[in-house]
Every structure is written in C-alpha cells, then in structure tokens.
Amino acid sequence: MRSSFLTTPQRLPARIVLACLWLLLAALPAGAQQAAQAPVRVTFEARMTQEGPAVQSGIEWRVFGTQVGDDGRLPQLAMAQGGIQAFDMTPGEYFVHAAYGFAGAVRRITVSPTSSREVFTLDAGALELNGVTGEDTSIPAKYLRFDIYGKQADERGERQLIARNIRPGEIVPFHAGTYHVVSQYGRLNAEVRADLRVEPGKVTQATIQHRAARMVFRLVRAAGGDALANTAWSITNESGDLITESSSAFPAFVLSEGKYTAIAKNSDKIYSREFDVIAGVDQDIEVLAN
C-alpha cells in the first residue's frame, strides 16, 4: 500500500520574500546584478562645437564595456550609424565613442535609472579641397588626390599621416587645428604642399594650384600617324634623371612644369625628343621613328 501526502503551499510573509530576493541579488556577480536592472533609453547626439546644432548624419557610434576581455580588448556592446541615436542601456558604466570622418570623441559615461541624453562635443570642422593647374584650369577628379598629415614633424622630418586619398570636393571632418596637405596631380612629380587651418564648426575650402600638365606620347613613322606597338618608353628630366617608364604604345603622364626628354625604344632602335611641359597645357608628344 502506498501512501502519499499532498501539502498546500503556504504563502510566505512579504518581508521574508523581499529579504530573500535581496540576499540573492547581493550574491550575484556585478555583471549579473546589472543585468537584473531594467534598461534605460539613452539618446546620444554629437555636435561640432559646444554651442552648435546636433550633427544629423554621418556619426558612427560605438558602445563598449569597461572590463577588458580575454583578448585584451574592451567588449563592443553596440554600434549604430547616423546622427542622433538612442540605445537601451542597463544602468552602469560604459565607454562611448563618436566618430565623424577623422574627428571623434570618446567618453566614459554612467547610465543611471534617470539618464536620458548624452551630448558629445567633437571640437571639429571640415576640409573641402580642390585643385587647378596653370592659371585656372580645372583638374579632372580622377587625376587628383590629397593626403592629410599632422602639422608637426618628428626628429626625422616625418609627419603623422591622418588621411589618405581624399577626393576633390569631398567635405571631410577633422578635429580643429592646422594640417599639412599634400596635393598630388597624377602619380609622378606634380606635387604641391600647403598648411591649412580647420576652424571649429566651419568648412575650410581651399583650391591648390599646380604647375603641371598631362602629356600623351606616341612613336610614329610620320606626323599624325598611328602609334607603333611594342614600344618601351623612358622620360627623363633636364638633369637626365629618370622620371618614369612604360611599355604602353601611347602612355600618358602628368608632369610638373619644366624641360624633359622622351626616349622610345622599338625593334632595338632608340628614338628621342626633347619637349617642354607648360602648366595647364595638355599636349600630345609625337616621337618620329626615322
């Protein structure tokens, strides 16, 4: 014969239940205690200056925990792109990074049950760069690029590279300050340098003036004839220094203003011609094979 006992659950006094819950919460690790709290909606906005309006697009937001993981890095907890962004965050401490172009700000914040908004001041402006050659001849964008360096050079005369291959007409944010800009027209010796100041909350517009032109070379049997295939080219400057080489039938190079020599080798024969590069005046240079 089996016997069983059914018992009716007894309701514990409320004060005992609360005491047990408190003891259980206190025994949890700090991270688990944080997870037990209700999330709070926190809105983030970034401004170029303290008194400026919120940036409406282009901000990259990243939220990190404050405890370094096994990989030696802070764990990334959330990421969003845009202007003003909101995150549901458990009360606690976080690192938040706001990046805008090559400007940014990082802060350690404390989220409390009453938190609602965090404002990041970037202390930034922007650069918008363009280039001309000669007096005022526009340079096609595909031939022009800008590299941005820090102003100060180290003991070896080298500057820190901040941004590479900025395209003409781009509006690119940077922290306020002075930068060393290198403008490259083509890929050879047409280079111009300038120091430019970025003001907080403003777009600094600058047009870099080059003294160069684009030259196209052809080895021909008669003026205006077709370019001969299987031609190897060398371009030297007035001092005889080699500037560039090519095996194209009609290579094109951007060269800075000055005197040069084009040397063409075809079928074991060598032909040459001296020519001048005039700023802003693109030319076709024909070398006669005779």
**pTM for this predicted structure:** 0.81
Which CATH number fits the domain that encloses residue 178?
2.60.40.10
pLDDT of 7 strictly over 80: no
Which of 242-261 are b and which e, b meaning 16 or more Cβ less than 10 Å from the residue's Cβ?
ebeeeeebbbebbbbbbebe
Select the more confidently predicted residue: 217 or 14: 217
User: Structure tokens of 71?
Assistant: 């990989």
Residues 51 and 115 in one domain: yes
pLDDT of 196 strictly over 80: yes
Last residue of a domain, one of 101, 121, 141: 121
DSSP-derived 3-state class of residue 32: helix
Asked if the structure places residue 184 within a domain, the reply is yes
Tally of structural domains, the chain: 3
127-149 tens-digit pLDDT? 999 999 998 999 999 999 999 99
65-117 tens-digit pLDDT? 999 999 999 999 999 999 999 999 999 999 999 999 999 999 999 999 999 99
